[in-house]
Amino acid sequence: MDWTAVIQDIIQGGIKIAVWIFAILVPLMIVLELIRDARLLDRIASAMRPVMKFLRLPGEATLPLTAGIFFGISYGSGLILAFIEDEHLSKKDLMLICIFFALCHGMIEDPLVFAAIGASWWIIVGVRLGLAILFMLVATRLPGRTREH
């Protein structure tokens, strides 16, 4: 076995994937920053209020949940931390948001990165979103899941 050829293939494959990720993430991050600066996230969050009601989450959960879905777990988590400091959400609501985040975060950049290496974008988005909603519906209906403030 020619290890030089194997290592060369690994390096070339890694560079190719890195270029694809860079080509997807840089423009996406620019667009996301423009959306954030234009305060479009607030409008998106307002439109999602019926979804929050369906998931049995308070309206205050809309902004951090929406941010996590579109911008990723780190930005959404930052908003959650801000909401914890301001005491806008109960501990149970925070736990439910974290459950959703664990399954469904960064719904733009993550699927695009995987699509760049051949995965189906629609399957990734559908499965992640479907599982997150299913887990939320189950978690909000478990005994002892009353709102606590």
Q: Give whole-number Cα distances, 57 to 17, 27, 93, 113, 134, in Å.
A: 38, 32, 7, 30, 14
Q: What predicted TM-score, i.e. pTM, was given to this entire model?
A: 0.62
The pLDDT score that the predictor gives to residue 7 is: 92
Give the pLDDT score at 149.
Answer: 44
pLDDT at 32 over 70: no
Q: What pLDDT does residue 145 have?
A: 47
d(CA 113, CA 74) in angstroms, rounded, equals 17
Is the pLDDT score of 148 beyond 70?
A: no
**Angle at the Cα of 38 from the Cα atoms of 26 and 108, rounded to 5 degrees:** 40
pLDDT recorded at residue 48: 81
Assign 126 a pLDDT band (cuts: 50, 70, 90): very high
pLDDT of residue 146: 47
**Residue 51 clears pLDDT 90, i.e. is over it:** no
**Mean pLDDT across the chain, nearest whole number?**
81
Question: Could you tell me the pLDDT band of residue 28, with boundaries at 50, 70 and 90?
Answer: low
* Rounded Cα distance, 129 and 73, in Å: 14
Which of 113, 110, 112, 88 lies closest to 101, judged by CA? Answer: 110
